Amino acid sequence: MGSSGLEKLVRPTPLDDSDALRDRFRGVMLGMAVGNALGLPVEGHSAHSIRRRFPEGITEVNAQERERPWDDDLAQAAILAEALIESGEFDPEKFAARLAAWAQENGRGIGGLTQSVIDELAKGRPSHEAARLAWERNAMSNAGNGAVMRCPPVALRHLRSGGDLVRAARTSALVTHYDARCEWSTVVTAVALATYVSGEPASNEDLAVAVEGVGAEGWVADSLGQVAEAIRDVDGTALKDLELDDPVDMGYTLKAMQVVLYCMTGSEGFERTVVEMVNAGGDTDTNGALAGAVMGARHGASNIPKRWLDNISDVQRLTELADRLFEEMIRSG
């Protein structure tokens, strides 16, 4: 019982080729950036709507992104990376304070649930209470993808420690997303990505069994069942069958998790996979960011199209964050 099944899927990573592994760390952070930016112009559009607007598909990052602040997917991932680097033990209140400062200074693309939590934080509430109140205010049905979208740095920082990874993933999710579906889909995403970066990807069945082994009662048990079912649904499915542009499920945490698991099973290159994901419609900036993270983990930063990176602001900061996550991962053993 408990999270031990998920923790055991994360195995210590051999560091024989540290240059290649460092390139994959950079690939995750920079892949998120380009995938997020590629999807921004068509966020919320259906696949059909995108085809009408871009008959050949959307394939280029808008050059104006060079002068714009990062969207929430990338900005929150960077904030989480900084929190993971600077604290020996992840501190949810410090992370929450960072999010609140970002929302006040910029907040581009911030989701409604995250904003509601930040409003509660401004009243002096601790993050877990703020997240619970915001969740209850939405009739306890809000399971948005905001915690999943920002979690790739957790996989990098704790690549070699399943216990630390699961704790950090859960804690980081619960700062803004109280729903158990958000909490455990974030854990699954981080675990899956960590195993992928290390070169020994966990199977979807192993992930589903591990989720079922967590054990719980009531609504949490039901949520865990939904997470496990969504994991298994990815096996053998085509991209169109994920129905990412379904208006009912757009921005749903389990859909975001499925994007990651789907990309892990593919065999296409970086550019084609990210382009296909964005052109499938739905929450395209988040789906693109997560597809970019997975493809960056596979192919490394050295295989990200330069013309895309040339249109991303502050690439150097993202590279430095990836390098610091890499160094902290090695330091902690």
Q: How far apart, in whole angstroms, are the C-alpha atoms of residue 123 and residue 96?
A: 13
pLDDT, position 12: 83
Give the burial string for 253-267 (b: 16+ CB within 10 Å, else e). bbbbbbbbbbbbebe
Number of domain units in the chain: 1
Q: Are 40 and 285 in contact (CB under 8 A)?
A: yes
What residue numbers bound the domain in which 38 lies?
Answer: 4-332
Report CA torsion sign: 102, 313, 264, 22: negative
CATH number of the CATH domain containing 16: 1.10.4080.10
Write out the two tokens for 117: 């939590």
Instruction: Report CA Rg, the chain.
Output: 18
pLDDT, position 1: 56
pLDDT, position 313: 97
Compute CA distances 172 → 1, 116, 162, 165, whole Å: 22, 16, 15, 10
Residues of the chain with pLDDT under 50: none
Helices then strands, each counted (H, E), the chain = 18, 0
The reported pTM is 0.96
pLDDT, position 107: 94
80: left (phi over 0), alpha (psi -120 to 50) or beta: alpha
Q: How far apart, in whole angstroms, are the C-alpha atoms of residue 329 and residue 156?
A: 7
pLDDT, position 223: 95
Q: How far apart, in whole angstroms, are the C-alpha atoms of residue 328 and residue 317?
A: 16
Question: What is the 3-class SS of 105-155, one letter each residue?
Answer: HCCCCCCHHHHHHHHHHCCCCCHHHHHHHHHHHCCCCCCECHHHHCCHHHH
pLDDT, position 333: 66
pLDDT, position 178: 96
